[in-house]
Structure 1
Amino acid sequence: MENLHIVFWLLKDISWCMIWKPLGVAMIFPTLIISLVIAWRTRQFVSELCHNVAISLWITANSYWMISEFFHFDAQVIWGAITYKHVALIPFISGLLILAYYYIWYQPRHKDTAEILS
C-alpha cells in the first residue's frame, strides 16, 4: 500500500507540474486516503503515527496549493500580503508542530521504552 501511495503522489505532482487539472485533482483522493489509512494502521506506534499524520497534512497542504494554482485563486489577497496560497501554511505548520511534539516532548521522555506491537 505504501508503494502504491507513492505512485499516486507522483502522478499528482507530475499533473500539477504539467497543468493536467483533471488528473491532478483526481489523484488527491487516493493519495490522501491511502496516507490516512497508513496513519490509522500505525496508530499504536507514536513515532509512526506522528510521522504519518504529518505526511497526510503535507499532502493536504500540497493538494490545496495545487488546486489554488489550477483555479487561479492562489494570488488573490485575503488580507494585507496574505494570499489564498498562504492558507496551505495551516496544514504545513500543523504537521511540523506534530513532529516537533514528537521530537521535543514525546521521544525524550520515552527513549528507553521500546514500541512493540500489542
Structure 2
Amino acid sequence: MENLHILFWLVKDISWCMIWKTLGIIMVFPTLSIALLITWRTRGIKAELAHNLAIVFWISANSYWMMSEFFGFDTVPIGTITDGKHLAIIPFSIGLFILLYYYIVQKPRETREDQVATL
C-alpha cells in the first residue's frame, strides 16, 4: 500500500508540474486517503504515527498549494503579510511540530523507559 501511495503522490505532483488540473485534483483523494489509512493502521507505534501524521499534513499542504496555483489564488493577498499559497505553511508547520514533539519529547521518553526496563 505504501508503494501505491507513492505512485499516486507522484502522479499528483507530475500533474501539478504539467498543469493537468483535473488529474491533479483527482489524485489528491487517493493520495490523502491512503496516507490516512496508513496512519490509522500504524497508530499503535508512536514513531510511525508521528511520521505518518506529518506526511498527511505534508500532502494536505502540498495539495492546497497546488490548488491555489490551479485556481489562481496563489498570489492573491491575504491580509498584509501573506498571499494565498503561503497559507500552506499552516499544515506544513503542524507536520513539523508533530515531528519536533516526537523527537524532542516522545522519543527521549521512550528511550528512558527502555533503559529503566532493562535495568
Into which bin does the TM-score normalised by the smaller protein fall? over 0.9
Structure 1 ranges of 4+ moved more than 3 A? none
Map of 1:26 onto structure 2:
26
Q: Counterpart in 1 of 2:117? A: none
For this pair of structures, how many residues does the alignment match? 114
TM-score scaled by length of structure 1 = 0.94
RMSD after superposition:
1.1
Larger proportion of helix: 2
SS in 1 for 2:4: helix
Identity of matched residues, %:
62
Instruction: Return the offset for 1:81.
Output: 3.0
Q: Who is 1:56 aligned against?
A: 56
**Please, what TM-score do these two structures have when normalized by structure 2?**
0.93
- The amino acid of 1:108's aligned partner reads P
**Gap regions ≥5 residues in structure 2:** 115-119
Task: Kindly report which structure 2 residues correspond to 1:1-118, keeping only aligned pairs within 5 A, or say none.
Answer: 1-111=1-111, 112-113=113-114
Report the structure number with the largest CA radius of gyration: 2
* Deviation (angstroms), 1:80: 1.1
Distance in 1 (alpha carbons) for counterparts of 2:109 and 2:37? 27
